[in-house]
């Protein structure tokens, strides 16, 4: 299975560092392949990384984007045909610029909007509640945090769960894509509380009572 991660920002880097050790090869995409090539010099798993642009990154079975919601929509629209039949993992939280609200309506979510735009692509939501600092240090007092994986295509959701499983997170079946209406709102609430208590951005969820 070929996997691509798109974007070299905070989440892109964190996802690469957590998923790459368990993959044979990863296509890592950026608007600037030159900048990316410099970035991965000296990376512990350099030999497994194929630096690519956002067109070459489409040559994968599973494509994980680490773009902002405002940027993923035009990119997805422009590449709709090439994304057909593939699994697209969506991590976006569609917050307003001031992080006080959502740019999406109540009755939808970023993941669903992406799925509407890409009807022939299997959109799977994941990592929405995991702030970037947690990707840098995934264990807190020896405990892993939760990643809720959602999708309307059961097989695609299972594929993504298996992909994440070796990484240091508890991976849960989060149900259908519409659950992202809740999951994405949980992230904004989580952020607000963490800011109030001085923990932001080292914050993620761990559901009490669930088995390891």
Ligand X SMILES: NC(=O)c1ccc[n+]([C@@H]2O[C@H](COP(=O)([O-])OP(=O)(O)OC[C@H]3O[C@@H](n4cnc5c(N)ncnc54)[C@H](OP(=O)(O)O)[C@@H]3O)[C@@H](O)[C@H]2O)c1
Residues at the contact surface with ligand X, assessed by CB under 6 A: 7-12, 30-31, 66-69, 71, 91-93, 127-128, 130-132, 201
State the minimum distance, in angstroms, from the CB of residue 99 to ligand X. Answer: 10
DSSP-derived pairing of the beta strands 122-125 and 146-151: antiparallel
Whole-angstrom Cα distance, residue 66 to residue 72? 8
State the minimum distance, in angstroms, from the CB of residue 128 to ligand X. Answer: 6
Which lies closer to ligand X via its Cβ, residue 121 or residue 184?
Answer: 184
Q: Using an 8 Å Cβ cutoff, are 63 and 114 in contact?
A: no
State the minimum distance, in angstroms, from the CB of residue 65 to ligand X. Answer: 8
Q: Which residues of 118-141 are buried (b: 16+ CB within 10 A; e: fewer)?
A: beebbbbbbbbbbbbbbbeebeee
Which lies closer to ligand X via its Cβ, residue 191 or residue 211?
Answer: 191
State the minimum distance, in angstroms, from the CB of residue 15 to ligand X. Answer: 9
Q: Using an 8 Å Cβ cutoff, are 205 and 186 in contact?
A: yes
Q: Using an 8 Å Cβ cutoff, are 141 and 76 in contact?
A: no
Which lies closer to ligand X via its Cβ, residue 86 or residue 94?
Answer: 94
Which lies closer to ligand X via its Cβ, residue 154 or residue 207?
Answer: 207
């Amino acid at each position: 299975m070929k996997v691509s991660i798109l974007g070299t920002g905070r989440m892109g880097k964190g996802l690469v560092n957590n998923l790459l050790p368990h993959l044979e090869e990863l296509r890592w995409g950026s608007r600037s392949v030159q900048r990316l090539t410099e970035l991965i010099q000296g990376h512990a798993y350099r030999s497994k990384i194929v630096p690519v642009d956002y067109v070459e990154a489409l040559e994968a079975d599973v494509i994980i984007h680490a773009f902002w919601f405002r940027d993923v929509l035009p990119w997805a629209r422009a590449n709709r045909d090439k994304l057909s039949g593939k699994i697209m993992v969506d991590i976006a939280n569609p917050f307003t610029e001031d992080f006080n609200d959502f740019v999406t309506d109540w009755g939808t979510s970023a993941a669903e909007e992406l799925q509407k735009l890409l009807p022939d692509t299997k959109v799977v939501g994941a990592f929405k509640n995991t702030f970037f600092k947690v990707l840098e240090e995934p264990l807190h007092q020896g405990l892993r945090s939760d990643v809720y994986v959602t999708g309307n295509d059961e097989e695609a959701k299972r594929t993504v769960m298996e992909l994440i499983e070796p990484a240091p997170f508890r991976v849960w079946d989060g149900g259908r894509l519409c659950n992202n209406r809740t999951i994405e709102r949980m992230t904004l609430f989580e952020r607000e509380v963490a800011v109030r208590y001085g923990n932001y951005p080292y914050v993620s969820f761990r559901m009490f009572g669930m088995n390891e």
